[in-house]
Structure 1
Amino acid sequence: MDFTLTEAASDLTGLTTDITTRLATGEHTAELETAHAAIDADLWREIANAGLLGLAAPSDLVGDGGADLTTMETTAVATALGRALARVPYPQHAVAAVPLLAAYGGDAVHDLLGKAVTGDAVISAAVEEDLGFDLLAPSTTVSADGAVTGTKLNVPYAEAADALLVTAAGADGTVVVVVDGTAGVTVTETPTTGLTPVYTVVFDGAAGTVLDGGSTTAARARDLLRLGLAADQAGVVAGALAATAEYAREREQFGRKIGSFQAVAQRLADDYIDVQALSLTVTQAAWLLSGAAETDNAEATAAVDTAAFWTADAGHRVAHTTVHVHGGVGLDTSHPVHRFFLRAKQNEFTYGAAPVVLGELGAMLAAR
């Protein structure tokens, strides 16, 4: 395959970077953290106005050309937002929810989809129950009339969300339910490593709309959520590497720039390999999921899980190198570099840590 980004993806990366440079500054992020803000409302409004939330929506909702854009473009935006450590649920909303609602929602969610495209509604995902183990075997249930009951952990931006994508066990297997409303839903903030808004959500007979496609849709939702998170992590580690390399070029010790020390240079070289590996696996998975390749679902899922593995593995190594090379500065929470470490560690364990996705990959290989 050709790993070159599409022209649209390259343009969208530049547009997103311009927006985050203006709005997602370290000072602004610190203010949001202090205020426990449920979302970066200013950034959300700006990316919505730029049309970045509806890239995977049908053209009748976004105008000419909308239907021609795919996961290649949405993951490019997610990567640029990750590099800026943006506090918005773009992977859940734009990479996963919008295309799922468009493909499997029908008339029942048409109004919600329209609001999601314009940014008037925020959609997140509630899929984890036991630290990401087996996302497609939930204990949360949905009744025949669409009532959802159960508890979900590690739900990002739930307080700001107008609707949630929920995986639940139905009569015929795992399905995706759109819970649009607050009745029967209890949201509790849960402090986590990444300092982003994360919640525990309890559903007690909450009314929902079951998307078409059954377990096939649930598997697609898992793949899109993992891919969106991997794209975010690709941006995080790229940003961390850039900040660390700049510090190594400027910081002097024993009369020399620390970047000239062999040990530091080797760590940064290893980081570069990790950053490139994650970026390439994200691109491959996005290409396969976009339908650009003649492939089966198993091959696309394997590519997503490969990217998810690098999300955890590369994220771990790059995060620790960032702290080590920065020395005491890396541990100083008044310095913005610590956020790269925290965000990378949060992503490392979201939607399945490395042992989880490796187990799934092994099972797929064994099945073949």
Structure 2
Amino acid sequence: MDFSVDDTTSELTALVRDMGERLVTDESLRELDARFGPGTESGGTDKDSARFHARFWDELVRAGVPAALAPERLGGAGLGVVGEALVLRELGRVLAPVPLSPAVRAAHLLDAAGAGERASAVAEGRQIAAVADGGPGASPEVDWAPIADVIVRPSADGLHVSDRTAVTVERTVPVDFSCAGLVTGEPEPASALAGPAAEFDALRRRVHLAAHQWGVIEAALQRTAAFATTRHQFGRPIGTFQAVAARLADGSIDVDAVRLSTLRAAYELDACAGAPGATAHAAVASAHFWACEAGHRLAHTAVHVHGGVGLDRSEPAHRYFLAAKANEFRLGGATRQLLDLGDVLAVHGDPWEFSA
């Protein structure tokens, strides 16, 4: 399968990478940890105290990144889910705490529900959006709810849109200290969604999470490999020891597995024209499995190779461990993804049996 992208997508991802590497530094993340991190869990109820990189977010909005990933009717560049995944990967590489994924998802959902003006406000960064999980048994915990201006809740009966002031948000503390909260209160009456938009959004969210995990573990592996060349034991870099080199090599294979499965899932969502079938569901479940499985392995490899430094809060390695574990938990764990994939195979058979 050809995963090459056009020049617009390449330029956008290069722009996000450049801004991220300049602005989301270890020092800036250390400052955010002091604001809302270990030992400060009672804070985080507004933009001034939440673990939110406001400067990077402002630069992303100013550069038009959320707008470029919005629906084409709102002026988006038509980069598809593949473009979104490549940008989310860049955010994962630097562990950027910014609400880009919910901005993209909310813009598409609001546009599908006919709320074009509000969708434009979200896509242009004039409002921050949080998007709740849809479907039965969904968790009331919503990422970015404490600092959101609008909370969007897709469901079987349509799209519920609430102003932040109309609901109650109780701050929670995810394992990576990211911004999230429990949302309670009566939802606004639902607006009709065009087609299977809620189903597509659920799959888009999972691809976004897998793409973010791809960036997290890719950067974690690079940092760990670099550390293994400078840390010496018995007069040699530890990276020359067979056991360490083998774990790093296995990590490289894991990163490739997440990369390929995530891009395949994004490709299938773009190809399904908004009506996901068995192929899209199977691809997303496969990407989710690899993101969970590889994320778990690489998080522990990074800590083990770093030794005690890997869990030292004054060093950056621990943030990658926390981010990888948080993504694993958000994705539902590897076993859950295999069960989902098994359901698809049991009902529809192998969706790729006759694929080229």
- Alignment TM-score, normalising by the size of structure 1: 0.86
Measure, in 2, the Cα distance between the counterparts of 1:83 and 1:67: 23
Measure, in 1, the Cα distance between the counterparts of 2:161 and 2:219: 35
1:144 counterpart residue number: none
**Aligned pair partner of 1:274 in 254, 263, 285:** 254
Contact 2:103–2:123 (CA under 8 A) maintained in structure 1: no
2:81 counterpart residue number: 71
Aligned ranges for residues 1-368 of structure 1 at < 5 Å? 1-36=1-36, 37-38=49-50, 39-59=52-72, 61-62=74-75, 66-94=76-104, 96-102=105-111, 104-106=112-114, 109-127=115-133, 136-138=135-137, 152-153=140-141, 155-168=142-155, 174-202=156-184, 204-213=185-194, 216-291=196-271, 297-368=277-348
* Structure 1 stretches lacking a partner, 5+ long: 128-134, 140-150, 169-173
Q: Percent identity?
A: 39
Dislocated runs of 4+, deviation >4 Å: 292-296
Give 1:195's aligned amino acid. Answer: F
Q: Using a 3 Å threshold, how does the CA distance of structure 1 residues 320 and 5 change in structure 2: closer, same or farther?
A: farther
Contact 1:124–1:165 (CA under 8 A) maintained in structure 2: yes
Contact 1:288–1:295 (CA under 8 A) maintained in structure 2: no
More strand by share: 1
Q: Using a 3 Å threshold, how does the CA distance of structure 1 residues 192 and 57 change in structure 2: closer, same or farther?
A: closer
Secondary structure in 2 matching 1:29: helix
Q: Deviation per CA, 1:271-320, whole angstroms, max 9, x where unpaired? A: 00110110111111111111289995221121111111111111000000
| Number of aligned positions between the proteins | 335
Greater shift, 13-22 or 27-36, is seen at: 27-36
Contact 1:55–1:74 (CA under 8 A) maintained in structure 2: no
Secondary structure in 1 matching 2:210: helix
Contact 2:200–2:275 (CA under 8 A) maintained in structure 1: no
Q: Using a 3 Å threshold, how does the CA distance of structure 1 residues 259 and 208 change in structure 2: closer, same or farther?
A: farther
Contact 1:183–1:207 (CA under 8 A) maintained in structure 2: no
Measure, in 2, the Cα distance between the counterparts of 1:71 and 1:294: 11
Measure, in 2, the Cα distance between the counterparts of 1:360 and 1:254: 48
Q: Deviation per CA, 1:208-240, whole angstroms, max 9, x where unpaired? A: 5434147x2221111011011111111000110
Contact 1:249–1:259 (CA under 8 A) maintained in structure 2: yes
Measure, in 2, the Cα distance between the counterparts of 1:105 and 1:40: 30
Give 1:210's aligned amino acid. Answer: S
Give 2:80's aligned amino acid. Answer: T
Query: Residue 25 of structure 1: CA displacement?
Result: 0.9
Give 2:11's aligned amino acid. Answer: D
Give 2:118's aligned amino acid. Answer: L
Measure, in 2, the Cα distance between the counterparts of 1:281 and 1:326: 28
Secondary structure in 2 matching 1:349: helix
Measure, in 1, the Cα distance between the counterparts of 2:136 and 2:273: 29
Q: Using a 3 Å threshold, how does the CA distance of structure 1 residues 71 and 296 change in structure 2: closer, same or farther?
A: closer
Contact 2:231–2:238 (CA under 8 A) maintained in structure 1: yes
Secondary structure in 2 matching 1:333: coil
Contact 2:160–2:187 (CA under 8 A) maintained in structure 1: no
Secondary structure in 2 matching 1:233: helix
Secondary structure in 2 matching 1:53: helix
Secondary structure in 2 matching 1:68: coil
Contact 1:55–1:73 (CA under 8 A) maintained in structure 2: no
Greater shift, 284-293 or 350-359, is seen at: 284-293
Give 1:26's aligned amino acid. Answer: D
- Alignment TM-score, normalising by the size of structure 2: 0.88
